[in-house]
Amino acid sequence: MPPSRRPPRRRPPRVPHDVADLSLASAGEARVDWADAQMPVLAQVRARFAREQPFAGVRIAASLHVTAETGNLVRTLQAGGGEVWIAAANPLSTQDEVAAALVVGDGAAVFARRRADRATVMAHQRAVAFAEPPGGPRPRRPGSGPTSVVTMDDGGDLLALWHGIRRAGEADDAGGDVTDDPPAHGLIGGTEETTAGALRLRAMADRGELTVPVLAVHEAETHRVVENRHGTGQSALDGILRATNVLLAGRTVVVLGYGSCGRGVAARARGMGAAVTICEIDPIRALEAKLEGYDVAPALEAAAAGDVFVTVTGNRDVLTAEHFRAMRDGAILANAGHFDVEISLADLASVADGPATEVRPLVERYVVDGRRLHLLAGGRVVNLAAAEGYPASVMDLSFTNQALAVEALVVDRERFAPGVHRVPQEMDAEMARLKLASLGIGIDMLSDRQAAYGRAWT
């Protein structure tokens, strides 16, 4: 192979890894770089980490979606002096070119292959948890390398491994390299990204099994504001437009659920010229919606008047047989909730005349009493299934949150007792402040006199 085929500055990667195809690296770098342009908050943190080196001597073991946005998180942790090992939390979301770029360009220990089977995924996670590449030699001599570890989880898998919880039912997959011995490096704590993972870890804590502190990053207020309202709001509509190319102006969009996600969907649907009807079981939220000028109605009444339906309640059976029977010809049904239980697929099949037909990609037509109902993405979350999920600038905050949480665990380690914690309020505020700064916005601070005035009231 002629040397010109390989950039001269790149040596063969010596870092442990298992990725699909290293030759995809330059395509991966372009994607990571595009995402970087949308992630200015993390870039600010990265610059500070580069100066302060908070992660010197720390290994960071991450089980996350291996995407371009995550690539920038990896670079940020490395900039802070950390040694990063990363496995895919979900093999379906892995971007192989990004995995390659992180190995080749950044020297991260990446274990991720798109569509890997379950055994591989678990082997990858074990490799990352304990810095033990499957089948290969130990990456370093005893005594060298980081002696502290922080985990980053998307579902609690790494911490479960560390706490030896993996063995129940997983022995067959895991093979012979599972041991009961605690690893040599000291675990400081971990971060957790998901509601489900936090539930799992809180259950461990309740049983007295969790030995380290965990910061539940998704519970930050900043996260709620940015991800739910704006991330979900935009991407749900984006998914609906990509799937259908329907004109929203003049149509009636029914939003079922007026939590922070539903508010984001409703505000944007109105902003596109739609009349918006809100269905909500909480009367206070329903009143809020009404006072903001939305129509508010029970779902059955809305069913007869709507053109586009978006479920975003977090509950099940929001649209059922009675609603489908009431709908008008041409109605469009989309779900923006996490699980595909909000639109009852069983009911839809049972009231339809015959099986569904695909009329466009991701659009299935059911005929109910002679009227055509169009289900998007099989009732799965339309933001991801028909669009691309959260924009990079939303992930910017999520991953800044992650990076700051890891820092807090390392630098302030005495502060956190074992257990699952919300991120500290000042960290939440700091994230918002960094985000504002990235938009060129500064804000004022309380004067001493004002602070004293406020205290006089409390």
Find the binding residues for its own copies in span 68-107 (CB under 8 A): none
Q: Side chain identity at 146, as an amino acid letter?
A: P
Q: Give the shortest CB-179-to-its own copies separation in angstroms.
A: 34
Give the residue, chosen from 248, 382, 403, 410, that forms a contact with its own copies under the rule CB under 8 A: 248
What is the footprint of its own copies within residues 137-166 (CB under 8 A)? none
x/- map, 1-20, its own copies, by CB under 8 A? --------------------
Give the residue, chosen from 16, 46, 391, 420, that forms a contact with its own copies under the rule CB under 8 A: 391
223 close to 189: Cβ distance less than 8 angstroms = no
If one asks whether residue 448 binds its own copies (CB under 8 A), the answer comes out as no
d(CA 352, CA 371): 9
If one asks whether residue 33 binds its own copies (CB under 8 A), the answer comes out as yes
310 close to 236: Cβ distance less than 8 angstroms = yes
What is the footprint of its own copies within residues 285-304 (CB under 8 A)? 286-288, 290-300
Q: Give the shortest CB-358-to-its own copies separation in angstroms.
A: 7
280 three-class SS: coil
d(CA 353, CA 349): 8
Give the residue, chosen from 137, 169, 208, 283, that forms a contact with its own copies under the rule CB under 8 A: 283
Q: Give the shortest CB-330-to-its own copies separation in angstroms.
A: 4
With contacts defined by CB under 8 A, how many residues of the chain interact with its own copies?
99
If one asks whether residue 361 binds its own copies (CB under 8 A), the answer comes out as no
278-316 as b/e: b if 16+ CB within 10 A: bbbeeeebbebbeeeebbbbebebbbeebbbbbbbbbee
Q: Quick count: other Cβ atoms within 10 Å of Cβ 348?
A: 22
- What DSSP string runs through 391-440? -HHHHHHHHHHHHHHHHHHHHTGGG--SEEEEPPHHHHHHHHHHHHHHTT
Q: Give the shortest CB-368-to-its own copies separation in angstroms.
A: 13
If one asks whether residue 354 binds its own copies (CB under 8 A), the answer comes out as no
**Secondary structure letter of residue 212 according to DSSP:** S
377 three-class SS: helix
Q: Give the shortest CB-109-to-its own copies separation in angstroms.
A: 26
If one asks whether residue 268 binds its own copies (CB under 8 A), the answer comes out as yes
Q: Give the shortest CB-427-to-its own copies separation in angstroms.
A: 11
Q: Give the shortest CB-307-to-its own copies separation in angstroms.
A: 9
Give the residue, chosen from 15, 40, 90, 419, that forms a contact with its own copies under the rule CB under 8 A: 40
9 close to 29: Cβ distance less than 8 angstroms = no
Instruction: List the beta bridge partners of residue 1.
Output: none
Give the residue, chosen from 247, 346, 349, 411, that forms a contact with its own copies under the rule CB under 8 A: 247
Interface segment toward its own copies; rule CB under 8 A; list 84-92, 112-120, 203-211, 433-441: 433-441
If one asks whether residue 189 binds its own copies (CB under 8 A), the answer comes out as no
Give the residue, chosen from 3, 169, 250, 361, that forms a contact with its own copies under the rule CB under 8 A: 250
Q: Side chain identity at 307, as an amino acid letter?
A: D
Q: Give the shortest CB-315-to-its own copies separation in angstroms.
A: 5
214 close to 420: Cβ distance less than 8 angstroms = yes
Interface segment toward its own copies; rule CB under 8 A; list 124-132, 142-150, 162-170, 440-448: 440-448
If one asks whether residue 429 binds its own copies (CB under 8 A), the answer comes out as yes
Instruction: List the beta bridge partners of residue 88.
Output: 64
x/- map, 331-350, its own copies, by CB under 8 A? ----------x---------
Interface segment toward its own copies; rule CB under 8 A; list 9-17, 116-124, 412-420, 442-450: 442-450
Q: Strand (E) positions, 282-324?
A: 295-296, 308-311
Q: Which residues contact 90 (CB under 8 A, 6 or more apart)?
A: 65, 154
d(CA 274, CA 144): 62
Count H helices and E strands in the chain, helices first: 19, 16
Measured from the CB atom, the residue of 203 and 349 that comes closer to its own copies is 203
If one asks whether residue 182 binds its own copies (CB under 8 A), the answer comes out as no
Q: Give the shortest CB-265-to-its own copies separation in angstroms.
A: 12
Measured from the CB atom, the residue of 73 and 276 that comes closer to its own copies is 276
Q: Provide the residue count of the chain.
A: 458
Closest CA relative to residue 82, chosen from 90, 92, 93, 74: 74
